[in-house]
Amino acid sequence: MKIIHTADWQIGMRAESAGKMAERVREERLAAAQRVVQAARDHGAEMLLLAGDVFEDNAVDRLLVRKAGEILRRFPGPVYIIPGNHDPLSPGSVWEHPVWAEAGNITVCTRSEPIELETCVLFPCPLREKYSTKDPTSWINGRAAAKPAIGLAHGNVEGIPSGEPDYPIPRDTANRRGLDYLALGHWHSLARYEDPNGECRMAYSGTHETTGFGERDSGNAILVEITRRGGPPALTSIRTGGLDWRTVEHSVAQPCTLESLVQQLAEIAQPESTLVRMRLDGMLFPEDRGALRRLEELLATRFLFGALEAEGLKPAPDGEGWIESLPAGTFQDAARKLRALASQPSGTDQQATASQALLQLFDLHERSRE
């Protein structure tokens, strides 16, 4: 049997880091959902399992709920969903929306009890509140199942660094509970957990569409193939994400290195679906000021979203040429004072302000010579 395991769609999530493109980012999550369904169809999956957090919050716009329901409704096979900690099964939750009842193929699992299916037994673990220290899989006993036993849960696999235990799930839950596969949700990066035999019986599919900068190995779903009860499941990652979230961090130590970054940005394919966050620190050399401006321009114009964080750049200490290029007297004196302020340890407001002031001075100087 083939199953598509997906989770953490986080439909309706806020995307503060995307600036004005936040709405576009939100829309892309629905588009990615369509890609998941399409991938399931393409790979001949019999069943679609959503391991929680389909929605960012129970108070999301009901239109989004309708849209998500309609997307899943298009899948020809059954769809099983468990509420996660973001959209727990509580009064007023998204799961009370009529779209779930209207869609005949969708089952929102509201009880922690086995569901006997034609080809397998499903052990869903719906969450009813946002936080709990209880293992949501603790009730599962799949050893007696004659058919493949598949768990569907949402929580933190033990070992993942987090604060207080929040829906803790033991690393050996699949074996301990007699499951052939445990489909997990909660963490946004794809993660597999192999047992001592090297067989992977539990995994996080990660979010189907990357939610922000710095997220590793996200934007996927998992195709799970189980041939028989007890047999090793075959897991295949399927790319479903549509947006490319890139973080470029560069520390400038030598002159003329920013130009390579300009080149790097220019070479990024599909910039219209790429979000770039560039962080620069180190030294700002006089000869790099032009490149810095081009970087700003590229980030502002070429990509779906671009942000340049260059406050960490300090004027190069040996860049006397900067100052000597200014009119002698007052302006050179002022530039030296500003450079001294800008050379303070990074992170202080005064340092960033002084650096910016220097850049403004040189911009004005260039304009004065035009």
Partner 1 sequence: MILHNLRVTHWRSLLQPTEVGPFVEGLNVIHAPNGTGKSSLFEAMRRALFDAHLVTGKEIEAVRPWGRSLAPQVMVEFSQGCVRYRIEKVFLDSPSARLSRLEDGEFVPLADGRNADSELREILAARDTPGRGLSKQEHWGLAQVLWAPQGALSLSFVSSSVSENLRAALGVQLTGESGTRLEELLEEQYLSLFTRSGKPRAGKDAAPILAMESQLAEMAMERHELLAQQQSFEEAAGAVEDARQRRAQARREADALREPLGQTRKLAESFQRLQSDLQQKRQTEQTAKERHESIGRTIELIADARREAAGLKAQIERDEALLGELAAELKTASARADERRRQREEARSRRASLSQRTAEVEDARAFLADTKARQALAARLEKLQQLQTGFTAERQSRAVLVAPDDRAIRDVRKHLAARGKAEAALQASLIRLTVRPHRAATATRKSPEETRAISAGEAATFAGSPEVSIEIEGFGSIHAAGPEMDVDALRGEMAEADRKLAKLTQPYGTQDPDRLQLVRDQAKELDQKIEVLERQIGELLGDDTTEELQGDLAELDARILERTGRFPAWKDQPPALSVLQSALEEQRKAIETAVVQAEDAFDEAQAGAQGVEKRHTETAAALKGARLALEAADRRRSDFTRDGLSDHDRQTARQEASMAWEAARAQAEECKRKLEEIGDDPQKSLDKMELQLRALEAAEAAARDDEKKAEGRLQSLAAAGAYSKLSACEERLADLTGRIRREKLRMDALRLLHDTVASCKAAAVAAVAAPVERTASRMLERVAGPRLGPVRLTGEFVPAGIEPKALGEAVELDNLSGGEQEQLFLITRLALGQVLAQNERQLVVLDDVLNATDTGRLARLLTLLEESAGALQIVILTCHPERYRALEAAAFFNLQP
- Interaction between residue 16 and partner 1 (CB under 8 A): yes
Token couple for 260: 């390579």
How many residues belong to the site for partner 1 (CB under 8 A)? 54
Instruction: Using the minimum distance from each CB to partner 1, give the nearer residue, 38 or 90.
Output: 90
CA Rg value for the chain: 26
Nearer to partner 1, 34 or 90 (CB): 90
Q: Which helix (H) or strand (E) holds 360?
A: helix 349-368
110 binds partner 1 (CB under 8 A): no
Name which of 182 and 308 has its Cβ closer to partner 1.
308
Binding-site member from 49, 54, 60, 298 for partner 1 (CB under 8 A): 60
Query: CA–CA distance from 109 to each of 89, 127, 298 (Å)?
Result: 9, 10, 47
Q: Which of these ranges, 9-17, 29-37, 157-165, 282-290, lies near partner 1 under the rule CB under 8 A?
A: 9-17
Q: State both tokens at 180.
A: 């052939």
Q: Among 250, 294, 302, 365, which residue interacts with partner 1 (rule: CB under 8 A)?
A: 365
Hey, CA dihedral for 4, 8, 11, 14, is it positive or negative?
Answer: negative
In the stretch 18-37, what mask flags binding to partner 1 with x, by CB under 8 A?
Answer: xxx-xx--x-----------
Residue found by looking up tokens 């799961």 in the block: 95
User: Can you tell me the distance from the alpha carbon of 325 to that of 329, in angstroms, rounded to the nearest whole number?
Assistant: 11
Lay out the site mask for partner 1 across 318-357 (x = CB under 8 A, - = otherwise). Answer: --------xxxxxx-xx--xx--x-------x--xxxxxx
The yes or no reply on residue 146 touching partner 1 (CB under 8 A) is no
Those residues whose C-beta lies under 8 Å from the C-beta of residue 307, and which sit 6 or more positions away, are 17, 19, 276, 277, 278, 299
Give the contact letters, 299-318, x = binds to partner 1 (CB under 8 A), - = no. ------------x-------
Cα torsion angle, 294, 297, 301, 303, sign: positive
The SS3 of residue 278 is strand
Binding region for partner 1 (CB under 8 A) = 12-20, 22-23, 26, 56-64, 90-93, 96, 311, 326-331, 333-334, 337-338, 341, 349, 352-361, 364-365, 367-369
